[in-house]
Amino acid sequence: MKLKELFDRGEFVISSEVGPVKGAIPRDPDFVPPCQQEAQHLNGSVHAINVTDNQSAVMKLGSLAASVRLKAKGYEPIYQITCRDRNRIALQSEILTAYSLGIDNMLLLTGDHTNLGDHKEAKPVFDLDSVQLVRIAAELQEGRDMAGNPLMFQPDMFIGAVVNPNFQPLDLQLIKMHKKVDAGAQFFQTQAVYDDRVVDEFIAKAEAFGRPIQLGVVVLKSPQMGAYMNRNVSGISVPQAWIEEIGAAAKGDRKKKAAEMTGRFIKKHKSKFQGVHIMPLGWTDIVPDILAHAEIAPPRPSAG
């Protein structure tokens, strides 16, 4: 199901995120891979699940294989694809392949640089940038490839893109967001935001683009994680107040505390967005609790 249907009827769209395994999926039909285990925690709490594409440039099972697996089990995947590892031929072919394998939603990103990952000596491709990729995905849906050749059958998917409200200068990020809208982006997910002012300054300008935006939140698990993100994770800043609050909770209570803090933040800002994208970094089991704190009614279960 395309998320478009949900946005169009005014649903507050809830998504979360899982990462494919470092390894293959065994042939044993009873084996449940970790990303599927995580998805099970999300069943009934979210409308859709992002599946990351070699996130942070760490080599893993492909996002398409994991997306197809989740789809087969009744979940709604948002297939992520980045420009880092594929040239324009591979990117277009992957989009056609994804549609052909039943994928309805995709999120098109630049991708973290190879230098951040576990294969630092790899050749970073970046043949296209994310704006160009969005345009090309939109053109494929119109029935032609980027060289202008007609397609025998065209894909039909819901095209998502990413924007970072933390970026300074914000105007430069908004110029790019504008380009993504013009190129054919149908919805947006934001990078992780923690700061109220960042949310407000961003949404005041971004809502003019008239595309549904999901507020992105990353669950803060510990004060160490906050400090680590401030030091090492590009484009994200965690305010000191967040770090102190999670740090004040005993270690055994941190899942509960993290759910409360994340839920409170979402509750405060949910009316400004058309949905939320919760990145739990493995703590998928607290997503129902986060939504309860955010006072968001969960959608009906989709998978068994």
Interface with other proteins by CB under 8 A: which residues? 83-84, 88, 110, 112-113, 115-116, 124, 126-132, 135, 146, 162-164, 166-169, 171-173, 175-176, 178-179, 182-183, 191, 234-235, 237
* Half-sphere exposure of residue 304: CA atoms within 13 angstroms, side-chain side: 1
CB of 132 to other proteins, least distance (A): 5
Q: What is the dihedral of CA 261, 262, 266, 267, to 10 degrees?
A: -40
CB of 202 to other proteins, least distance (A): 12
CB of 186 to other proteins, least distance (A): 17
Residue nearer to other proteins on the CB measure, 199 or 259: 199
Residues in CB range of 185: below 8 A, 6 or more apart: 108, 134, 159, 160, 161, 211
Do 130 and 106 touch, CB atoms closer than 8 A? no
CB of 84 to other proteins, least distance (A): 8
Q: What is the dihedral of CA 33, 85, 185, 270, to 10 degrees?
A: 50
CB of 5 to other proteins, least distance (A): 28
Residue nearer to other proteins on the CB measure, 273 or 283: 273
Burial of 91 (0-12, 13-18, 19+ CB in 10 A): buried
Residue nearer to other proteins on the CB measure, 88 or 264: 88
Residue nearer to other proteins on the CB measure, 132 or 154: 132
Residue nearer to other proteins on the CB measure, 232 or 271: 232
Residue nearer to other proteins on the CB measure, 164 or 284: 164
Do 109 and 80 touch, CB atoms closer than 8 A? yes
Residue nearer to other proteins on the CB measure, 162 or 215: 162
Per-residue DSSP letters for 187-240?
EEEEEE---HHHHHHHHHHHGGG-S-EEEEEE----HHHHHHHHHHSTT----H
d(CA 142, CA 218): 35
Do 275 and 46 touch, CB atoms closer than 8 A? no
CB of 190 to other proteins, least distance (A): 9
Per the DSSP assignment, residues forming a β-bridge with 116 are: none
Do 293 and 265 touch, CB atoms closer than 8 A? no
CB of 56 to other proteins, least distance (A): 10
